[in-house]
Amino acid sequence: MPWLYEPINVYKPVAANIGIVDGPFEYLTVAGIRMPLPFTTRMTVVRLRSGDLFLHSPVAFDQSLAEALETMGPVRHLVSPNQFHYAHVGEWAKAFPDAVTWASPGVRGRARARHADVVFARDLGADPPEEWEGDMEQALVPGGIFKEFIFFHGASRTLILTDTIINLELDKIDQPWRAFTKLSGMYHPFGQIFFGMRLPLLVQRRKAKAAIRKIHAWRPERILLSHGRCFEGEDAGKALRRIFGGPPS
């Protein structure tokens, strides 16, 4: 059986005012059909200076998790960082109607096509909005339909990624997916750029360089990922240099 990142649905701090929540299994859906491919996904929670909570790529709604988060601050921002990570934004928005739902490029159309019950109120942009300016910086990594907003929490020097880097642990995956994952190269400790982003990154070289330059300038000391094992300490810098090369000229 595949493994989860237990315990799930609990807030796990990684530094002051930032932590992760590992969620239950998700299943890839192709043309409306649920594939027998369980995978794990992870949410990042940032407590902003305002006291408000920023939920990056929310995992499936869970009542006791929601109650635990409420003790930390008002759940205010529900963020879809790319058009493939939005499935649970609507559930959280229902529970927290005062929260702002943030759209990634293309997510509205994708959610509508799949009849998802979610309304996005605002759009992520090139610069952080005033609500988290001073807490976090952000950038758009080009990648065709896989383009993704990434975030950097300055106080903890944490880079928050969704699918830009995938670092699956093979012993948590069943065959035949384990073999496919190995072929894709997106496995621990060799985590890689999601394969769907690689060609668009090459084609959009100028935009890619700008994003990579920004990532290096931030000098992250931790990389939180939605899928697989995160990178901590000096492993973070090493992974960035291995995957993206040094700062582009």
**Interacting residues toward Fe ion by CB under 5 A:** 163
Q: Which residue, 42 or 222, has its beta carbon nearer to Fe ion?
A: 42
- In terms of C-beta distances under 8 Å and separation of at least 24 residues, what long-range contacts does 47-55 make, across chains too? 47/17, 47/18, 47/72, 47/73, 48/17, 48/73, 48/76, 48/131, 48/132, 48/135, 49/134, 49/135, 50/76, 50/131, 52/76, 52/77, 52/131, 53/77, 54/79, 54/132, 54/135, 54/136, 55/79, 55/92
Q: What's the helix, strand, coil split of the chain in %, to 5? A: 30, 30, 45
Shortest reach from residue 66's CB to Fe ion, in Å: 22
At 219 the three-state DSSP class reads: coil
Shortest reach from residue 51's CB to Fe ion, in Å: 29
**Amino acid letter, 136:** M
Q: Which residue, 23 or 90, has its beta carbon nearer to Fe ion?
A: 23
For Fe ion, which residue has the nearest CB?
Answer: 163
Shortest reach from residue 69's CB to Fe ion, in Å: 22
Which DSSP letter does residue 200 get? H
Shortest reach from residue 109's CB to Fe ion, in Å: 18
Q: Which residue, 9 or 83, has its beta carbon nearer to Fe ion?
A: 83
Q: Which residue, 68 or 243, has its beta carbon nearer to Fe ion?
A: 243
Shortest reach from residue 57's CB to Fe ion, in Å: 8
Q: Which residue, 108 or 227, has its beta carbon nearer to Fe ion?
A: 227
Shortest reach from residue 86's CB to Fe ion, in Å: 11
Q: Which residue, 52 or 163, has its beta carbon nearer to Fe ion?
A: 163
Joined tokens for residue 14: 């990684």
Shortest reach from residue 39's CB to Fe ion, in Å: 8
Cα gap 41→22, rounded to integer Å: 6
Region of residue 76 (phi > 0: left; psi between -120 and 50: alpha; otherwise: beta): alpha
Q: Which residue, 48 or 141, has its beta carbon nearer to Fe ion?
A: 141
Exposure class string for 12-38: b at 16+ Cβ within 10 A, else e:
eebeebbbbbbbeebeeeeeeeeeebb
